[in-house]
Amino acid sequence: MRTLWFACRQSLLWALPATALALAVLWIGVATTGTGTPWLHVAAFLPVVASSLSAVAFWPPFATDARGAELVRRTTKGPLHGMPTATLGALLAAAACLLLLAVAASPLVPEPRAHHRLRAHERPLLDDGRIELSFALPEDCVELQLRPVVLMPRAAPEATSLQIAIDGKELAAGPVMIFGDRQLVRVPLERGSGTTVALRRISGNLPLWFDAAAVLAVDGSGPPRLLGCALAFSVWLLPLWVTLGTAMLLSRWLRQPMALVVAGVALVLQSLGQVGPATAAVTLCARGHWLLTEPIFWPCITSLGAGVAAMIAAMALRAEHRR
Amino acid sequence: MAAISVRQLCVTFPGRWRKPAVQALLPLDLEVQPGAIVGVLGQNGSGKTTLLRVLAGLQDWSAGTATVLGRPPGDGILVRRVAWQPDGPPPLAMLNGREVLQWFGSQLGLENDLADARVDEWLSYFELQHASRRAVRTYSSGMQRRLLLAASLLGEPEVMLLDEPTSGLDPVGSELAMAALRQCARKGAAIVMASHHLLEVEQLCSDVLVLHEGRCALRGTLDELLGSGDRSLVVRGLAEDALPAIRAAITAHGGTLVRSEAQRQHLYALYRQLAVRPPSGTVPAVDHRGAN
């Protein structure tokens, strides 16, 4: 328990100033640019990178040449010499800081709502051969979001106009125009207005492909913003987990400066490089999506598995080395 | 049963790429009984640290056998019974001194209350109380060495493997360290210490092993090696006019007065008088209750 406490406290010592910096960046960024999404990413990144680097710097077995590494390796039980405990300490510290950030950032994001992906009853293509597509509409939806893929027309392109009908009744707002690929069109609906939505092409020649994420129905109510924000930020613990798992795996070969560089690069890859679910989670949160209804579960499981696999590989390597 | 038994031990560091293999230890025999303090002497690179690392279970050997407390040195159960103090800084230097010792106590399986009590005793003994709330990275090398010694002594080990235990210590610290090690040996601990401080080895150790290029160049008890049949006499505070009579008496008993000199204070005594905190000299007497 003392290892966990010391590791957690040490990570907090690094992560709390980083969180303060993150809050400042968030506040100044939103105030000066008027947009929140990029600043939310930066804010989540800072405490995670601080916790990660502090764990590597604090716990000697993460590097071959750290002060007293050999003494700690001899004294600690288990093949990974306390590195999982130090990782857990860093995760707890990062979780505390991310929760703080979530509290601060929750007023900046829209209320999270479930976004249901609607699937067409037919082949999801509106072109000369098919002018109408219909979808089953969930109850309690208050908005329809269209974001179709635009294909090449046979003649000179002409924006496609769509008339939307709920249970056969056309919307009073009139048709919507689609002229760009993945152009987002938001259509407000009355709550509980029907069970079927139909899209009818009434003019234009751009063929529209409605793939899995092209037609979304947005629920009218959802959980509180804080919960949505906290969930999105908590996904940022996965890059930390993967990073420290990688550091464990490489700890037999790396000196401390290189171990810190590797940890930093792993985190940058998972944030700027968008490897893993962390950036997508914050982006979805900033767009008002409720994460539990989004297909982000499998990327999260993949990240979790990558960290576990790295840890198991590290254990196997250590055991082999001991033999 | 010997606490440490080493027979025909050889350690070879394999060569890499164009670097040839290095034979760090050539066939070496060593037995250390409980209560003995063995000083391992030798030039830099003679194999002292390698021998200690083998006994601590950190270094594989290429031939021979080595057992510590009847078990292979790498046996996990020995971690609590065998203390190893490397020649380097303590770990977890971002923590303060008390926390570092508390961490060692927890790893040794001591209950928190007992560990905390022992930590206080050893901090006090090694005169580190005033710095116990400071980060260890701010300690001087001597203070770090005291802290490492305290960590080694925390679990009342049965075997102590110490690499340069008094290196960097001031005379008071050195005296404290030696007193603590003597007490451990009196309680039955077997101690092997590598050192370059010949005077301390002479004062502290019962046996000496001298290594040269990985081989045992000399081994034996101090009495065997330095001779103990003759008695030397050191007398202080004589009046000048008493010298002829003393010389005559010594000669009459077959001895020789080698040198007489004007009395002056020893530098160490002067240092002790000036020391802000003279050593208490009381080694903590902790019991084994609560130790797993």
Which residues on neighbouring strands pair with residue A143, listed in sequence order?
Answer: A188, A218
Instruction: Report the half-sphere exposure of A170 (CA within 13 A, side-chain side).
Output: 11
Structural domains in chain B, CATH included, are: 4-227+267-274 (3.40.50.300)
Q: In chain B, pLDDT over 70 holds for what percent of residues?
A: 90
B56 inside 8 A of chain A by CB = yes
Query: Is the confidence at residue B228, as pLDDT, over 70?
Result: no
Query: Is the confidence at residue B290, as pLDDT, over 50?
Result: no
Residue A73: closest C-alpha in chain B:
B58
Q: What is the DSSP letter of A113?
A: B
Q: Which residues of A touch B91 (CB under 8 A)?
A: 60, 66-69, 71-72
Q: Which residues contact B34 (CB under 8 A, 6 or more apart)?
A: B3, B158, B188, B189, B190
CB-based contact A68 B88, cutoff 8 Å:
yes
Q: Which residues of A touch B75 (CB under 8 A)?
A: none
**What is the predicted pLDDT for the residue at B286?**
54
Q: In chain A, pLDDT over 90 holds for what percent of residues?
A: 50
Q: What tokens appear for A135 in the block?
A: 């979808």
B75 inside 8 A of chain A by CB = no
Query: Is the confidence at residue B9, as pLDDT, over 60?
Result: yes
pLDDT in tens, A226-244: 999 999 999 999 999 999 9
**What helix, strand, coil percent values describe chain B, rounded to 5?**
35, 20, 40
Q: Which residues contact A223 (CB under 8 A, 6 or more apart)?
A: A112, A290
pLDDT in tens, A83-96: 999 999 999 999 99
Q: In chain B, pLDDT over 90 holds for what percent of residues?
A: 41
**What is the predicted pLDDT for the residue at A28?**
92
Query: Is the confidence at residue B268, as pLDDT, over 90?
Result: no
CB-based contact B99 A6, cutoff 8 Å:
yes
pLDDT in tens, A145-172: 999 999 988 888 899 999 999 988 888 8
Q: Which residue has the higher pLDDT, B259 or B209?
A: B209
Structural domains in chain A, CATH included, are: 2-112+224-322 (no CATH), 115-219 (2.60.120.260)
Of B76, B79, B94, the CB nearest to A10: B94
Q: CA-based Rg of chain B, rounded to a whole angstrom?
A: 22
Q: Which residues contact A132 (CB under 8 A, 6 or more apart)?
A: A126, A198, A199, A200, A201
In the sheet with B63-68, reading across from the earlier edge strand, the strands are B22-32, B4-13, B63-68
Q: Which residues of B touch A77 (CB under 8 A)?
A: 76, 79, 107
Query: Is the confidence at residue A34, as pLDDT, over 90?
Result: no
Are B125 and B149 in contact by the 8 Å Cβ rule? The answer is no
Nearest CA-CA distance, residue A273 and chain B, Å: 32
CB-based contact A75 B57, cutoff 8 Å:
no
Q: What tokens appear for B138 in the block?
A: 């701010």
Query: Is the confidence at residue B289, as pLDDT, over 50?
Result: no
ipTM score over 0.85, yes or no: no
Query: Is the confidence at residue B276, as pLDDT, over 80?
Result: no
B226 inside 8 A of chain A by CB = no
Average pLDDT over residues A239-257: 93
Of A183-187, A279-283, B121-125, B219-223, the poorest mean pLDDT is in B219-223
Of A6, A57, A322, the CB nearest to B103: A6
Q: Which residues of B touch A70 (CB under 8 A)?
A: 58, 86
CB-based contact A58 B94, cutoff 8 Å:
yes
Query: Is the confidence at residue B277, as pLDDT, over 70?
Result: no
Query: Is the confidence at residue B271, as pLDDT, over 80?
Result: no
pLDDT in tens, B28-41: 899 999 999 999 99
CB-based contact A67 B90, cutoff 8 Å:
yes
Nearest 5 degrees, angle CA A10-CA A14-CA A15?
110
Q: Which residues of A touch B79 (CB under 8 A)?
A: 74-75, 77
pLDDT in tens, A170-215: 888 888 999 889 998 999 888 877 889 999 999 888 999 998 889 9
SS3 per-residue string spanning A269-281:
HHHCCCCCCHHHH
Q: Which residues of A touch B95 (CB under 8 A)?
A: 6, 10
Question: How far is it, in rounded angstroms, from Cα A160 to Cα A150?
Answer: 10
Query: Is the confidence at residue B198, as pLDDT, over 60?
Result: yes
Q: Which residues of A touch B110 (CB under 8 A)?
A: none
Q: Which residue has the higher pLDDT, A310 or B271?
A: A310
Question: How far is it, in rounded angstroms, from Cα B163 to Cα B191?
Answer: 11
Question: In a 3-state reduction of DSSP, which class is residue A213?
Answer: coil
Nearest CA-CA distance, residue A33 and chain B, Å: 39
Read off the pLDDT band of B288 (50, 70, 90): very low
pLDDT in tens, A65-79: 888 898 999 998 788
Which element (helix H / strand E) includes B171? helix B171-186
Read off the pLDDT band of A140 (50, 70, 90): confident
**What is the predicted pLDDT for the residue at A174?**
86
**What is the predicted pLDDT for the residue at B292?**
40
Q: What tokens appear for B242 in the block?
A: 């008493």
**What is the predicted pLDDT for the residue at A230?**
93
CB-based contact B106 A75, cutoff 8 Å:
no
Highest mean pLDDT among A5-9, A294-298, B105-109, B245-249: A5-9
Question: In a 3-state reduction of DSSP, which class is residue B96?
Answer: strand
Of B57, B74, B93, the CB nearest to A67: B93
Question: In a 3-state reduction of DSSP, which class is residue B184?
Answer: helix
In the sheet with B215-221, reading across from the earlier edge strand, the strands are B82-85, B159-163, B190-194, B37-42, B207-212, B215-221
B107 inside 8 A of chain A by CB = yes
Read off the pLDDT band of B161 (50, 70, 90): very high
CB-based contact B90 A69, cutoff 8 Å:
no
Read off the pLDDT band of B256 (50, 70, 90): confident
Q: What tokens appear for B29 in the block?
A: 């025999």
Q: Which residues of B touch A69 (CB under 8 A)?
A: 91
CB-based contact A74 B104, cutoff 8 Å:
no
C-alpha to C-alpha distances, B11 to B31, B64, B128, B161, B194, nearest whole angstrom: 17, 9, 38, 18, 17
User: How does A153-174 read in b/e, with b if 16+ C-beta sit within 10 Å?
Assistant: eeeeeeebbbbbbbeeeebeee
pLDDT in tens, B62-111: 899 999 999 999 888 888 899 999 988 899 999 999 999 999 999 988 88
